[in-house]
Amino acid sequence: MVQGVGYRNACKRRADELGLSGWVRNNCDGSVEVEIEGSQHELGELVFWCEKGTNDAQVREVSSTRVAITGTDWFEIRS
C-alpha cells in the first residue's frame, strides 16, 4: 500500500536528487507507476528506492520494462 503515505512526493524528491527525468502517478488499481530516464546507475538507485519507498509504504513488488526515451528534462507528479 503506497496510497496516502507520501510515496509520489518522496519519489519525486529522490528522482530530483539523482538528476532523473520522468514522472510518477497513482493508478486506479492502487498501484503506482513511475517512468524515468537517466544514467544506468541513477536508474538503479531509484528502482532500489522504489522497492523500499517511504517508512509508511508497504511495497510488495516492483517490475520494470524498457520504454522509448522521451527526452524530457524534468520529473513531475501526474494525477
Longest dimension (CA), the chain: 32
Query: Could you confirm whether 8 is annotated as catalytic?
Result: yes
Q: Quick one: 25 exposed, middle or buried, by C-beta within 10 A (0-12, 13-18, 19+)?
A: middle
- Among residues 9, 25, 26, 60, the one annotated as catalytic is 26
- Among residues 8, 14, 60, 66, the one annotated as catalytic is 8
Q: Residue type for 4, please? A: G
Q: What positions carry a catalytic annotation?
A: 8, 26
